[in-house]
Amino acid sequence: MEIALVGIGKIALDQHVPAIAASPDWDLAATVSRKGSVDGVESFTDFAELLERRSDIRVVSLCLPPVPRFDYAAAAIAAGRHVMLEKPPGASLSECHRLIDMAQAQRVSLYATWHSREAPMVAAAKAWLADKTLRRLQITWKEDVRRWHPGQDWIWEPGGLGVFDPGINALSILTEILPDAIHLTDATLEVPENKQGPIAASLRFAHPAGAEVGAVFDWRQDGDQIWTIEAETDRGRLELHDGGARMVIDGIEQSADGPALAGEYPRLYARMAQLVASGGSDVDLSPMRHVADAFLLGRRETVAPFHE
Ligand code: NAP
């Protein structure tokens, strides 16, 4: 199937273009970007023009930041296109619900991707936790914003999520692997005095069996970057490291069963191909709901200004 890629920035070039190029399902037929392009691929600067002139391209993948993305998604759905969304699926929950309703009405596929759920050991962690009673779970997501988001001013603006931009990846894994529904009870958001978005956050959740569930996100990490989820259960201890790439059970490193398709983004594109073929949609808003709750309930603390 032919696909158009919209917003030729960091994630489009790092992950989407190579994943599409390697996919047996997809052919990158066009790009839409105000200044970027991909060698050998027809490029547009105006999205409406792509929708009008290339009615043969039935699927679009939107790699824009969350705030500008809604208008593109709504226009694509209104024009009868199937839509794949980068994470987070929108700048607000209401926007996301609107897109779900529009996609249903137009009978097109809508896929809200969560790339971290496709990390190699996430499915194995889910299977291991399924029949155990959770006692304690702690997420530690600490990275250097200067290293991973250079020059990305949008990330500090309203709707950019601040440290929840990576933090929502941890929450996407949490909501995938936990057999129980949890809800946020309190949060602290550390906001630099010159920014709108938090640079660090800590969260606590209520768990139906009374397990302690918490998360710490921090963008001021020097040295080793940490993306870890640790869970203690009635029958052992699980650790997910490196954002779900590695799993340790009771101190023993586990190996993956050899996923048919390696790589988070190749697996997202394979899933999108299935959804389009079957006429399905996949929009799970639970990671975003926890982030929205943190912004609703979080106690703000002003911290030192951040300068890149
Ligand atoms: P980015 O490079 O800053 O922006 C992506 C592209 O979006 C830009 O190149 C630009 O495309 C377009 N864009 C930005 N602001 C726009 C606006 N106001 N109106 C229209 N187009 C605009 O961001 P990114 O890092 O690729 O992130 C994009 C999305 O992917 C985010 O939701 C992010 O959470 C997610 N993501 C990022 C990473 C990562 O490591 N960076 C990893 C996973 C997921 P043109 O200049 O081509 O018009």
What φ, ψ does residue 218 adopt, rounded to 5°?
-150, 130
Computed over every residue of the chain, the mean pLDDT equals 97
Reply yes or no on whether the pLDDT at 168 is more than 70.
yes
Verdict on whether the full-model pTM lies above 0.85? yes
Q: What is the mean pLDDT of residues 89-102?
A: 98
Residues 60 and 108: their CA atoms lie apart, in Å, by: 11
CA of residue 60 to ligand 1 center, whole Å: 15
Residues 166 and 227: their CA atoms lie apart, in Å, by: 9
Opening angle at CA 127, ends 259 and 250, nearest 5: 100
pLDDT in tens, 204-248: 999 999 999 999 999 999 999 999 999 999 999 999 999 999 999
Q: Which two tokens stand for residue 149?
A: 């988001």
Q: Smallest Cα–Cα separation from 154: which of 40, 68, 238?
A: 68
Residues 281 and 108: their CA atoms lie apart, in Å, by: 8
Could you tell me where the beta strands, DSSP code E, fall in the chain? 2-6, 27-32, 42-44, 59-62, 82-85, 110-112, 134-142, 183-192, 200-206, 212-218, 226-233, 236-241, 246-249, 252-254, 299-303
pLDDT band at residue 89, thresholds of 50, 70 and 90? very high
Q: What is the mean pLDDT of residues 134-162?
A: 97
Reply yes or no on whether the pLDDT at 259 is more than 90.
no
Residues 230 and 177: their CA atoms lie apart, in Å, by: 12
pLDDT (0 to 100) of residue 258: 64
Amino acid at 52: E
Amino acid at 84: M
Atom 31 of ligand 1: nearest residue by CA position: 65
What φ, ψ does residue 9 adopt, rounded to 5°?
-115, -150
Atom 32 of ligand 1: nearest residue by CA position: 65
Ligand 1 neighbourhood includes 189 CB (under 6 angstroms): no
Q: What is the mean pLDDT of residues 258-267?
A: 81
User: Does 3.40.50.300 match the CATH number of domain 2-112?
Assistant: no
116-260+291-303 has which CATH code? 3.30.360.10
- Domain ranges in the chain are 2-112, 116-260+291-303
Residue from 17, 38, 64, 118 to probe ligand 1 pocket by mutation (most atoms less than 8 Å from CB): 64
CA of residue 239 to ligand 1 center, whole Å: 31
Residues 82 and 258: their CA atoms lie apart, in Å, by: 30
Residues 166 and 140: their CA atoms lie apart, in Å, by: 11
Atom 17 of ligand 1: nearest residue by CA position: 68
Nearby residues of 106 by Cβ (< 8 Å), 6 or more positions away: 77, 78, 80
Going across the sheet that includes 200-206, the strands are 252-254, 246-249, 236-241, 226-233, 134-142, 212-218, 200-206, 183-192, 299-303
CA of residue 25 to ligand 1 center, whole Å: 24
Q: Which two tokens stand for residue 222?
A: 């020097």
- Tell whether the torsion through CA atoms of 31, 37, 35 and 152 is positive or negative: positive
Please, is 302 exposed, middle or buried when counting C-beta atoms within 10 Å of its C-beta (0-12, 13-18, 19+)? exposed
